[in-house]
């Protein structure tokens, strides 16, 4: 969430935005109740109109061994 929305706004969204797809729970409440993180993330992305190509987040280079 922080990569998409920034460190401050992501916490505001997680704690205050009611997600209609998740019976109006916030992301924080849904996660605490055992909803899968992917389901919460995708509901949040749809609610915030995040383009589907950004749902997987920022590419991270693999560690070199």
pLDDT number for residue 63: 78
Q: Where are the domains of the chain?
A: 2-54
Q: How far apart are alpha carbons 43 and 27 in whole angstroms? A: 9
For 18-59, the pLDDT digits (tens) are: 999 999 999 999 999 999 999 999 999 999 999 988 888 766
Look at the block and give the residue holding tokens 């849904």. Answer: 30
Q: How far apart are alpha carbons 47 and 38 in whole angstroms? A: 14
pLDDT number for residue 65: 66
In this structure, what token pair is assigned to residue 4?
């998409």
pLDDT number for residue 45: 93
């Amino acid at each position: 969430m922080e990569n998409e929305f920034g460190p401050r706004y992501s916490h505001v969204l997680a704690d205050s935005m009611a997600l209609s797809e998740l019976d109006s729970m916030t992301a924080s409440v849904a996660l605490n109740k055992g909803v899968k993180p992917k389901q919460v993330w995708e509901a949040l992305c749809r609610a915030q109109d995040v383009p589907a190509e950004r749902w997987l987040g920022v590419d991270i280079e693999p560690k070199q061994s």
